[in-house]
């Protein structure tokens, strides 16, 4: 038995809070995750630091807000100048491992979406070396380890440690076409699968929702199975090892494309899925960004087949996406069951905290939208969080407010390791901390959008029953009463009766924005 506890952090990609059996989904079956919840504390009000992959995953490992760690949006790799809580665990004697998706660096070679700077007659343009107000090295070779090109080399090996992880088994991208070590494994052990990794080679189906692909990649070669197998092997290898460990098991699903393999494709039926309120409420007046999305989809029905932003969908498309998402989550649940069984077999469960969360959610038809975007609804900001400590509370639900960047600081406190100066996460009650009075969520994207303007940004505060969002751009700001209007159908921003609460929330958001400004680097002298 080790003195310090070990930790297994399970994280999924794009799984909203209500898509678990233990969180009230009426159809989805997640017995292994539900069992984890019974073994510990299930948080009902856990939110992201940012509702997109790279910024929120960077917040997870750095315990900082996006505006502080610098990876504010997709496309900005996490600078190695940041200290991660994983590095602190390693320095304290922990073995550290990441199996699955990282997405702390760019995974594509797609060009940036920032609008080109207009050339003005008579003005001298700065040279390339001076064109951006802050110099960086974020495009050098140390930030290329998640791109496909790196894995096309002979015997590619990511230099370790990787953001503090001494063991890294990489799974890149999503769906049937995952890369990294998973693709290398397929090429070696199942080369016939390579020909099946295409949206143009799939089983016939009658689903119409964007990015529904009935892959021919078999279940045992799908990324979820690969990650479970490698995580189980890692735990098996620890038998008799007295050192504490931190293992992050990171699944690329249920992020689109919707590609549950084998039996998971038709495990759930669209007609059995709950119908989002926006399709039922005939009096609902959609905000501009929904109307624009519906107009664009009507012009081009194929819109969304390659999109990584919110698109408008019909009720049937939404129900199909929900059914396929449930199939992907059920596969993850079975994989988690396998890893939990491996931990039991390895004899480590008596001193290992098991944690479950996701990096952000998906609209899945809420407000007639699919995927995620600048809009700041609960469906993308609110995610599951379970903390199962064998020496802690059992079968407990908590309404404590907490966020993604609190996970690392809570693990450090629980392990009796001091955080680095400048980490902004708050210690949660499961490690003796206190609840937040409010959460602050930051969003930024490269892509100019008609409803949100150029280089959109949004900042959100959730406090008590209220959600307030300020948009930088033409979009109307938002205020929702989550208690009386949990579906967020009625924006109260212009309501005369709510001006006092709006003012109070704006003031608290301003305070939180000040607090989110980095305090590092530290001064090097008094003056």
Q: Is 170 helix (H, G, I), strand (E, B) or coil?
A: strand
Count the Cβ atoms, other than its own, within 10 Å of residue 119: 7
* Length of the chain measured in residues: 527
Judge contact between 33 and 329, C-beta under 8 A. Answer: no
CATH number attached to the domain at 6-117+136-438 = 3.40.720.10
Q: Which of 259, 170, 248, 187 is nearest to 222 (CA)?
A: 259
CA angle, 45 then 47 then 51, to 5°: 150
For every residue of 43-93, DSSP letters joined together read: ESSEE-SSSSHHHHHHHHHH-S-HHHHS--STT-PPPTTSPPHHHHHHHTT
Q: How many C-beta atoms surround the C-beta of residue 239 within 10 A?
A: 10
**Quick one: which of 191, 185, 189 has its CA closest to 223?**
185
Going residue by residue through the chain, which has 527 residues, state the pLDDT in tens, using 9 for 90 and above: 358 999 999 999 999 999 999 999 999 999 999 999 999 999 999 999 999 999 999 999 999 999 999 999 999 999 999 999 999 999 999 999 999 999 999 999 899 988 888 999 999 999 999 999 999 999 999 999 999 999 999 999 999 999 999 999 999 999 999 999 999 999 999 999 999 999 999 999 999 999 999 999 999 999 999 999 999 999 999 999 999 999 999 999 999 999 999 999 999 999 999 999 999 999 999 999 999 999 999 999 999 998 778 999 999 999 999 999 999 999 999 999 999 999 999 999 999 999 999 999 999 999 999 999 999 999 999 999 999 999 999 999 999 999 999 999 999 999 999 999 999 999 999 999 999 999 999 999 999 999 999 999 999 999 999 999 999 999 999 999 999 999 999 999 999 999 999 999 999 999 999 999 999 999 999 99
In the structure encoding, which two tokens stand for residue 2, read together? Answer: 């080790």
User: Contact, 489 vs 366, CB < 8 A?
Assistant: no
Please choose, from the candidates 70, 75, 92, the residue with its C-alpha nearest in 3D space to the C-alpha of residue 412. Answer: 92
- 276, 282, 288, 292: CA torsion to nearest 10: 80
Cα Dmax for the chain: 73
Q: State the SS3 of 269-338.
A: CHHHCCCCHHHCCCCCCCCHHHHHHHHHHHHCCCCCCCCCCCEECCHHHHHHHHHHHHHHHHHHHHHHHH
Which residue, among 357, 502, 478, 335, has the nearest Cα to 19 in the 3D structure?
357
Question: Could you give the strand order of the β-sheet that contains 466-472, starting from the edge strand earlier in sequence?
Answer: 439-444, 457-463, 466-472, 478-481
Q: What is the DSSP letter of 435?
A: -
165 forms beta bridges with 162
Q: For 470-498, give one letter per residue: b (16+ CB within 10 A) or e.
A: bbbeebeebbbbbeeeebbbebbeeeeeb
- Element housing 169 (H / E): strand 167-172
Domains of the chain, by residue range, sit at 6-117+136-438
CA gap 439, 45 in Å, rounded: 10
Strand partners, 458: 443, 471
- Is residue 138 within 8 Å of 79, Cβ to Cβ? yes
Instruction: Give pTM, 2 decimals.
Output: 0.98
């Amino acid at each position: 038995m080790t003195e310090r506890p070990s930790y297994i952090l399970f994280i999924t990609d794009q799984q909203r809070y209500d898509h678990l059996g233990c969180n009230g989904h009426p159809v989805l079956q997640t017995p292994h995750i539900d069992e984890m919840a019974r073994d510990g504390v299930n948080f009902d009000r856990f939110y992201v630091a940012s509702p997109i992959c790279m910024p929120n995953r960077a917040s997870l490992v750095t315990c900082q807000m996006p505006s502080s760690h610098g990876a504010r949006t997709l496309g900005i790799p996490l600078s190695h100048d940041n200290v991660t809580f994983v590095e602190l665990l390693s320095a304290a004697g922990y073995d550290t491992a990441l199996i699955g998706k990282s997405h702390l660096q760019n995974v594509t070679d797609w060009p940036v979406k920032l609008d080109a700077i207009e050339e003005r007659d008579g003005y001298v343009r700065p040279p390339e070396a001076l064109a951006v107000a802050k110099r960086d090295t974020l495009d050098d070779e140390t930030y290329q380890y998640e791109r496909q090109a790196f894995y096309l080399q002979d015997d590619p090996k990511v230099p370790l440690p990787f953001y503090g992880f001494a063991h890294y088994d990489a799974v890149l991208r999503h769906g049937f076409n995952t890369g990294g070590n998973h693709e290398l494994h397929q090429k070696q052990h199942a080369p016939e699968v390579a020909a099946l990794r295409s949206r143009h080679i799939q089983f016939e189906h009658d689903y119409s929702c964007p990015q529904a692909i009935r892959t021919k990649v078999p279940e045992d070669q799908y990324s979820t199975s690969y990650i479970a197998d490698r995580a189980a092997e890692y735990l098996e290898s620890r038998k008799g090892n007295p050192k504490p460990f931190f293992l992050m098991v990171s699944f690329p699903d249920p992020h689109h494309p919707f590609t549950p393999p084998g039996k998971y494709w038709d495990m759930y039926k669209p007609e059995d899925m709950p119908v989002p309120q926006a399709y039922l409420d005939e009096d609902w007046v959609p905000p501009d960004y929904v109307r624009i999305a519906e107009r664009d989809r009507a012009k081009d029905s194929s819109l969304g087949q390659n999109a990584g932003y919110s698109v408008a969908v019909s009720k049937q498309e939404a129900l199909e996406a929900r059914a396929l998402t449930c199939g992907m989550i059920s596969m993850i649940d079975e994989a988690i069951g396998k890893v939990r069984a491996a931990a039991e077999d390895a004899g480590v469960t008596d001193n290992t905290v098991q944690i479950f969360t996701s990096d952000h959610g998906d609209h899945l038809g809420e407000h007639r939208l699919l995927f995620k975007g600048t809009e700041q609804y609960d469906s993308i900001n609110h995610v599951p969080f379970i903390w199962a400590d064998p020496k802690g509370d059992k079968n407990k639900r908590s309404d404590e407010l907490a966020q993604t960047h609190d996970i690392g600081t809570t693990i450090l406190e629980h392990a009796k390791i001091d955080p680095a100066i400048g980490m902004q996460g708050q210690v949660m009650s499961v490690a003796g901390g206190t609840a937040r009075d409010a959460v602050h969520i930051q969003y930024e994207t490269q892509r100019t959008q008609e409803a949100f303007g150029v280089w959109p940004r949004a900042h959100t505060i959730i406090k008590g029953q209220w959600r307030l969002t300020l948009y930088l751009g033409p979009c109307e700001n938002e205020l929702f009463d989550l208690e009386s209007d949990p579906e967020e159908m009625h924006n109260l921003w212009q309501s005369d009766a709510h001006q006092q609460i709006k003012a109070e929330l704006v003031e608290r958001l301003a305070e939180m924005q000040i607090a989110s400004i980095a305090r590092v680097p530290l001064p090097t002298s008094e003056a």
